[in-house]
Amino acid sequence: MSDNKQLIDVFMPQLAESLVSATVGKWLKQPGDRIEQYEPICEVITDKVNAEIPSTVDGIMGELIAEEGQTIGVGEVICRISVISTNESVSVNKPANTVTAEASSTISSDQSMRSRYSPAVQSLAAEHGLNLADIPGTGMAGRITRKDVLAYVEGGHSEQARPSTVSSDVTGGINSPFQGLSHTNPAVTPSQYVENKSPAARNSGLHLNENPQIPNNVIEGQQGRAETLIDITPVRNTIATRMRQSVSEIPHAWTMIEVDVTNLVLIRNKLKDEFKRNEGVNLTYLAFLLKAVVNAIKDYPIMNSVWATDKIIVKRDINISLAVGTDDTVMVPVIQKADQKNIAGLAKEVEDLATKTRQGKLKLDDMQGGTFTVNNTGSFGSVLSYPIINYPQAAILTFESIVKRPVVINDMIAVRSMANICLSLDHRILDGVICGRFLQRVKENLEGYTLDTKLY
In the predicted structure, residue 245 carries a pLDDT above the cut 50: yes
Residues 49 and 197 both lie in one domain: no
In the predicted structure, residue 319 carries a pLDDT above the cut 70: yes
Q: Does the annotation mark 183 as catalytic?
A: no
Residues 295 and 398 both lie in one domain: yes
Residues 87 and 191 both lie in one domain: no
In the predicted structure, residue 193 carries a pLDDT above the cut 60: no
Residues 384 and 282 both lie in one domain: yes
Residues 347 and 201 both lie in one domain: yes
Write the CATH number for 55. Answer: 2.40.50.100
For the stretch 4-35, pLDDT in tens is: 568 888 988 887 766 788 888 889 889 998 88
Mean pLDDT of 279-286: 93
Indicate whether 435 belongs to any domain: yes
Rounded distance between C-alpha atoms, residue 145 and residue 117, angstroms: 8
For the stretch 424-454, pLDDT in tens is: 999 999 999 999 999 999 999 999 999 899 9
Burial group, residue 251, by CB count within 10 angstroms (0-12, 13-18, 19+): exposed
Q: Evaluate whether 423 touches 396 at the Cβ level (below 8 Å).
A: yes
Annotated catalytic residue within 9, 169, 431, 452 = 431
Rounded distance between C-alpha atoms, residue 77 and residue 19, angstroms: 16
Burial group, residue 389, by CB count within 10 angstroms (0-12, 13-18, 19+): buried
Residues 298 and 428 both lie in one domain: yes
Q: What is the reported pLDDT for 169?
A: 41
Domain finish residue from 34, 59, 93: 93
Indicate whether 182 belongs to any domain: no
Q: What is the reported pLDDT for 115?
A: 58
Rounded distance between C-alpha atoms, residue 438 and residue 127, angstroms: 45
Q: What is the reported pLDDT for 183?
A: 41
Q: What is the DSSP letter of 155?
A: I
In the predicted structure, residue 220 carries a pLDDT above the cut 90: no
Q: What is the reported pLDDT for 208?
A: 44
pTM > 0.95: yes or no? no
Q: Evaluate whether 117 touches 124 at the Cβ level (below 8 Å).
A: no
Q: Does the annotation mark 431 as catalytic?
A: yes
Domain finish residue from 71, 93, 115: 93
- pLDDT band with cut points at 50, 70 and 90 for residue 313: very high
Q: What is the reported pLDDT for 210?
A: 47
Mean pLDDT of the chain: 79
In the predicted structure, residue 271 carries a pLDDT above the cut 50: yes
- Per the structure, how many domains does the chain have? 2
Lowest-pLDDT range of 19-23, 100-104, 277-281, 381-385: 100-104
Q: What is the reported pLDDT for 391?
A: 92
Residues 258 and 360 both lie in one domain: yes
Containing 94, the helix (H) or strand (E) segment is: none
Domain finish residue from 40, 64, 93: 93
In the predicted structure, residue 164 carries a pLDDT above the cut 90: no
Rounded distance between C-alpha atoms, residue 319 and residue 324, angstroms: 15
Higher pLDDT, 184 or 350: 350
Write the CATH number for 276. Answer: 3.30.559.10
Q: Evaluate whether 150 touches 119 at the Cβ level (below 8 Å).
A: no
In the predicted structure, residue 104 carries a pLDDT above the cut 90: no
Nearest Cα to Cα of residue 48 among 388, 377, 329:
329
Q: What is the reported pLDDT for 134?
A: 77
Mean pLDDT of 151-160: 70
Determine phi and psi for 165, rounding to 5 degrees.
-90, 0
In the predicted structure, residue 185 carries a pLDDT above the cut 70: no
Mean pLDDT of 396-422: 95
Residues 59 and 199 both lie in one domain: no
In the predicted structure, residue 52 carries a pLDDT above the cut 90: no
Higher pLDDT, 390 or 57: 390
Q: Which residues pair with 23 in a beta bridge?
A: 45, 71
For the stretch 107-129, pLDDT in tens is: 555 565 655 666 667 767 777 77
Indicate whether 158 belongs to any domain: no
Higher pLDDT, 186 or 376: 376
Higher pLDDT, 166 or 419: 419
Indicate whether 38 belongs to any domain: yes
Residues 384 and 250 both lie in one domain: yes
Indicate whether 107 belongs to any domain: no
Domain enclosing residue 20, as ranges: 1-93
Indicate whether 72 belongs to any domain: yes
For the stretch 66-84, pLDDT in tens is: 988 888 888 899 999 988 7
Indicate whether 405 belongs to any domain: yes
Indicate whether 173 belongs to any domain: no
In the predicted structure, residue 161 carries a pLDDT above the cut 60: no
Burial group, residue 444, by CB count within 10 angstroms (0-12, 13-18, 19+): middle
